[in-house]
Structure 1
């Protein structure tokens, strides 16, 4: 019989960096760190990549495609973890992540780069879910908030050096090293994790037994819908039909992958999961246009455009630390109102900058509010998800949270890409993108005020 590595807090445990946990924490944080480097770096350099490979038409797809295929990785790895250990699914996910980075870094055309990003998405989604399950099975519940605060803080150094370094690498070496360098470092970081977790009893006493194939089919359908949505702008007169069909497919196929009642913001875990998707769509959908605007309209170099994201990432890490220390004292309602208001204000300032040609410093400084709001909300939502979970559905619930994140982001990026492409010949493209993001941030308040307190663990069911 297997059991969690730690089931209760004893007097030898002082925190996530105590001797018992230090190597697991260090390895997991290193993987999050490299994922952050990759995410921030690609956001910074993609305008240059797009220009170099003549791929403006696939700009949004390069982001939305990765998020779309990540849904498949999340579902497979979540179900895999619920049936046994976590090391094998984590290993598979990391291999796919590295393979996708290598393919993208070596791609001679934008189409092949997108293929690499699709493979990378499979690994990214699986890696995220696997690490969440590692947290659930290795650390006692009292330390979950600190672990996820550490994950958020792992974005600090990338936020300081990642965008600017990616810009510098692009300017003085080549953008390909942005992908290949992260791939090499990921291999090193994962070796640390394997050495620490190998041989540990990371299974569950009561493995899940339900069929996995229906969920995989649904995941593939969701990914297909998101990809079709992101490509709709290139289909001319069929675009409207493809958009409508894709939206219906995503809504229908995602229901079995989410807790029951998610799409109607039912109280408790369903609202936690729905809120994650809305704020992810609001932030990540608009964030990819921040460096784009700075480079295209204000003449920033890739290095300086990357620095435009630094303040937001720093604020994210600082707010995540506050949430880790005082989240229970602040309460879910207060965190929701403060975080959503900051995100909405930041997006509104970005839209105002694009609409009226305000100094770029307004947008850069304002974007720090978005980071602060997300730093409060993101780790809190993860803590609540685990609090609502049992040992039998940690994988399902963790994957559901990540699926909502990915589907929300992919859908928002695709819709914003369609709007931006349609308005490319006008000055309305950037303002409309930010307006869509603002609507999503405002809608997040609805499920945010219905999350409950998760004072006891309750099972969840598919939607």
Structure 2
């Protein structure tokens, strides 16, 4: 059966309880699992933000300047393989084993990172950590599909977004404080016990998941695993070649990007790259949004520091503002879930993101006040809050029990690949324009990342149901 045929078949909601539980996601039947999975996301978010804060200290301590960039790109690459494996596992046997296995891998990666005697060992731990984190994302999406009725999906995805707010506000500060007092290793080792406690809250709910547990007779899709490995290697090469010189500055990344696109085709629903109506456009919109936001996000604090002389703490205001408004947008879309269609929510979010990047580009090119970029990036976070939860909800609505894992992994893969390819592309543009000096490297990067935001805005109306599909009740 093709992906399109599966998308127009039985919906996840068909097997779900008929109505939302009293009290919503914190009601009696959902409180423990909600707190548990949100705690896992909080800890994962804290770790991701903490690495950025303490990485200079780690690089100096382990003499690993040459592997600095790889410590960030590596987990993104291995995460793609984890997503595909978890998706296949969930479709075969439900989300239990995939969830437990991903947490074990994540914790194992933390342990290796926290005890690493050399940079090479630290990097291996980061690769394991990324594999587990990618698999965890997919497993949590399938848990949402099985544990919550469709009426609560907008709320739980809004809670996922809100789970990033506290780490965004205090994560870098706490990580820096731990590194200065206890040592950088405890930034990672201290999270292990908290992850175990969060998992303990989720385990009881695993036994109460409604619907079939999966299809054990379904074979392991070794072909998709092979393609995911190729995509991971291509993305990793793309990031490494961003620092290439001479002819390789353009030809190397172009070849790596082409290989990544070819490898991605079997990992995504058919017609994703041509924005086919329905699920393919949902997946593509997610990847475009990730490319636009995360490609520009790393250059906002950089712009404030280099061009406006902001100290690091003040430059971080843009990150804090976008995180707070991301949660605000997520909350708003959940309140308007019955009045605002998925397509319109993505369209409004993409418009806000495009205007935010345009404000950053104008700030860099015209030397506008820094407040323009900071306020604009808050608007960009708001736009992501409108878009991200809706793409998650739409993906589950288009999914059947048989393909929840595939569709959830496709959404996560689009997210990860979109961000990593955009980061590599902006690095190339920044390096190419650095010789011109002045505002042009920043303006060039922002102009580049505005393109996927504009594409998401134009393609949003294609997020509609295929002919013959039933809307979930």
**Contact 1:166–1:303 (8 Å) recurs in 2:** no
Please point out which of 275, 295, 311 is paired with 1:265.
275
Q: Matched residue of 1:330: which SS?
A: coil
What is the distance in 2 between the residues matched to 1:424 and 1:49?
A: 28
Provide the residue aligned with 2:93 in structure 1. Answer: 84
Q: Does 1:124 align with 2:133?
A: yes
State the distance in 2 between where 1:205 and 1:72 align. Answer: 21
CA contact (8 A) 2:349 2:382 kept: yes
The C-alpha deviation readout for 1:298-340, integer Å capped at 9, x for no partner, is 5545444434311111111111111112123122343223211
Residue of structure 1 in register with 2:287 after alignment: 277
Count of equivalent residues = 457
CA gap 1:454/1:87 in 2 versus in 1, 3 angstroms: same
Conserved? CA contact 1:27–1:192, under 8 Å:
yes
Supply the distance in 2 between the matched residues of 1:76 and 1:110 (Cα, whole angstroms).
27
Task: Give the Cα separation in 2 of the matches to 1:159 and 1:292.
Answer: 17
1:231 aligns with 2:240: yes
Contact 1:228 1:246 in 2 (8 A): yes
Q: Which residue of 2 aligns with 1:322?
A: 332
Residues 92 and 214 in structure 2, CA contact (< 8 A), matched pair in contact too? no
Partners in 2 of 1:109 and 1:286 — Cα distance?
32
Shift in Å, 1:110: 5.5
Q: From the superposition, tell whether residues 56 and 11 of structure 1 become closer, same or farther in structure 2 (CA, over 3 Å).
A: closer
TM-score (norm 2): 0.87
How far is 1:291 from its partner? 3.4
Which of 279, 291, 297 pairs up with 1:287? Answer: 297
Give yes or no for contact 1:60–1:414 (8 Å, CA) kept in 2.
no
Aligned partner of 2:202 in structure 1 is 193
How many Å separate the matches in 2 of 1:352 and 1:112?
43
Using structure 1 for the length normalisation, give the TM-score.
Answer: 0.88
The partner residue of 1:134 within 137, 143, 149 is 143
Q: Do structure 1's residue 399 and structure 2's residue 409 form an aligned pair?
A: yes
1:232–1:242 CA contact under 8 A, matched in 2 = yes
- Kept in 1: contact 2:283–2:411 (CA 8 A): yes
Is 2:444 aligned against 1:435? no
1:342 to 352, 358, 363: 352
Is residue 282–residue 437 contact of structure 1 (8 Å, CA) maintained in 2?
A: yes
2-structure distance, mates of 1:335, 1:257: 26
CA separation in 2, counterparts of 1:355 and 1:246? 31
Give, in whole Å, the separation in 2 of the partners of 1:26 and 1:14: 14
- Is the 8 Å Cα contact of residues 242 and 424 (structure 2) preserved in structure 1? no
Q: Is the 8 A contact 1:103 1:116 kept in 2?
A: yes
Structure 2 gap ranges (5+): 1-11
Q: Shift of residue 451 of structure 1?
A: 0.6
**RMSD, matched Cα:** 3.1
Q: How does 1:55-454 map to 2 (within 5 A)?
A: 60-107=69-116, 112-169=121-178, 174-197=183-206, 203-204=212-213, 206=215, 209-236=218-245, 237-424=247-434, 426-427=437-438, 428-453=440-465
Distance 1:239 1:11, change over 3 A: closer
Cα distance in structure 1, aligned partners of 2:34 and 2:14 = 14
Structure 1 segments unaligned to the other structure (5+ residues)? 459-463
CA contact (8 A) 2:13 2:397 kept: no
Do the aligned partners of 2:106 and 2:130 also contact (CA within 8 Å) in 1? yes
